[in-house]
Amino acid sequence: MTVSGVKGEERHNFTKAESKQIRARSLRLLGSLLLPVRAKVVLAMLMVVVSTAAQVSGPALIAFGIDRGLPALLEQDWLPLAATGGVYLVAGVLGALLIAWYTVLSARISQAVLIDLRKRVFLHTQKLSLEFHESYTSGRIISRQTSDLDAIRELLDSGINQLVQGILYMSFTAIALVLLDGTSGLVLLGAVLPLVILTRWFQVRSQSLFRQSRVASASLIVRFVETMTGIRAVKAFRTEKHNETVFGKLVESYRMVNARVIQLFGVFDPGLVLIGNVTVAAVLLVNGFRVADGQLAIGALLATLLYTRRFFDPMEEMAMFYNSYQSAAAALEKISGVLEERPGVPDPVAPVDLWEAHGRVRFDNVQFAYQADREILPHFDLDIPAGQTIALVGSTGAGKSTLAKLMSRFYDPTDGQVRLDDVDLRDLHPKDLRRAIVMVTQEAYLFSGSVAENIAIGKPDASAQQICAAAAAVGAHEFIENLPNGYDTDVNKRGGRVSAGQRQLISFARAFLANPAVLILDEATSSLDIPSERLVQEALQTLLADRTAVIIAHRLSTVAIADRVLVMEHGRIVEDGTPNDLISGTGRFATMHAAWRESLV
């Protein structure tokens, strides 16, 4: 199985080569994000090096002040002590200023990187085909934009700072200690072994716990989003109690993992403090004797103690970095996977412009399957002349919506071609394709915003009059006028809520305004009541007059306005003719129509 794109997300056990492939992908993404801010990164590094050096100089200066400045002062020479104090002050101020500057600069870098990544994820996910969105759940998409980006933000905001400053601080401190006094350096070296053992122990255990914690929190998000997305089904089937139990279990497992993480820190933190204190005690003991023997000055003793103590300070923060690094690395892996996905319907390399499409649609030798082993359209030929109105009927699962999706190029055929005015849809300029072919579906999705804005999606530069005219043409004007703020009513605010049928009318107005050469209505009148449907049918006569139209409808009333009826079964057209011919015949459509007429009586 491959790990390219999002496929790797479902797996946990990778081979070495696969892990390498995923890491390389993450690093490439990180590299491409840092490239535009590389100058700032170098500057920030320089600042942090200088400011850490300034901070680390403190104990050495204190030692100098005590061992050289004080005796000189006793001899009435105040200059060495004053100079030491001055240098200490300058180092302190410089360190503080540089840290302040560094903090601002690193925040800018992290903001730039995050904004870039956030935009890339949004734009790319939006570009991915319907095929991708139909299998990649909304919970996962939301996690990519929220918790994953948060994990990366956390790493950039504090994690990297802590790591870089921590490593530099510990290295500079160790170097300063060795330079000041080799013996103390040896004592510190003695602490390194237990330190390495403790840190390694912590890393090994925390790695698996942090992973479990991320998995548990992701499951919580996915469960929450899916429950809320399906809230209607939840209420209709009264599954609240069941959901509560399932969610409760997820929360409990999240709590358990976090409790174990805290237990781990409960051993690691005191362990660090203990090693630090034992080392300081050892330095005090060894150097105390050396001071008594006159081998070491008292100021140097103090400085060695301060360096030893300070050496351990960044350890805990660096252990925390490990956590944020792990989360961010996992997040980066998943985000880079989404960004690696290629749209199932790629934009043409040499797009053909079709300014004024006539609307002839042809399916030539088309074969189509969603999954390799299950063919939906085995072999499909169809010629729809420009301006014809087709009613597409057939039983559930016959492949009607699939045909509509191929016609709108939501999918590409596995074999053969779908053409508009003799141009393969794959070669058509995406802008021309969207202008020429519009599909209205049953969902009739409305975006946040006013009714007018929702209609104007069909033609963003439309005037208010054009919007009203479009609404009037599909019989939506009256109800829109009766909404609290008319065309300016926000469809997602209380009071502005519209019914499913009204939503469909708005999406009709949107399609009418877009004025495409080919209009596909996939169950687009299913939520309308019979009088509204009749109204729309009248409007449809005008709406469909000068364009090619494909109407998929279970209610056969639509057939009356069609020039031609296609009956589909198992991905094939089994009947094709004018409504009258088919009704008066003895085929499937005649039976369906008779049954439908009877149901009306």
Residues making contact with ligand ATP (CB under 6 A): 134, 370, 376, 394, 396-402
By residue count, the chain amounts to 601
For the CB of residue 380, give the shortest distance to ligand ATP in the complex, in Å. 12
- Closer of 280 and 376 to ligand ATP (Cβ): 376
- Closer of 170 and 392 to ligand ATP (Cβ): 392
- Closer of 290 and 564 to ligand ATP (Cβ): 564
The residue behind tokens 């994690």 is: 159
CB neighbours of residue 320 within 10 Å: 17
- CB-side neighbour CA atoms (13 Å) of 110: 19
For the CB of residue 373, give the shortest distance to ligand ATP in the complex, in Å. 11
- Closer of 5 and 394 to ligand ATP (Cβ): 394
For the CB of residue 140, give the shortest distance to ligand ATP in the complex, in Å. 17
First-last CA distance in the chain: 57
- Closer of 89 and 233 to ligand ATP (Cβ): 233
For the CB of residue 404, give the shortest distance to ligand ATP in the complex, in Å. 8
- Closer of 216 and 553 to ligand ATP (Cβ): 553
For the CB of residue 408, give the shortest distance to ligand ATP in the complex, in Å. 13
The residue behind tokens 């009203």 is: 468
For the CB of residue 550, give the shortest distance to ligand ATP in the complex, in Å. 12
Q: Which amino acid is at 235?
A: K
Interatomic CA distance for residues 79 and 73, integer angstroms: 8
- Closer of 291 and 574 to ligand ATP (Cβ): 574
Q: What region, left, alpha or beta, does residue 571 occupy, with left being phi > 0 and alpha being psi -120 to 50 degrees?
A: left
Collect all residues with Cβ–Cβ distance below 8 Å to 62 and sequence separation of at least 6: 88, 299, 302, 303, 306
For the CB of residue 397, give the shortest distance to ligand ATP in the complex, in Å. 4
- Closer of 376 and 455 to ligand ATP (Cβ): 376
Interatomic CA distance for residues 447 and 431, integer angstroms: 21
Pure H helices in 476-578: 477-481, 500-514, 530-544
Residue 263 is encoded by which pair of tokens? 């237990």
For the CB of residue 41, give the shortest distance to ligand ATP in the complex, in Å. 44
Q: 81, 299 in Cβ contact below 8 A?
A: no
Nearest to 473 by CA among 462, 483, 465: 465
Residue 314 is encoded by which pair of tokens? 């960044």
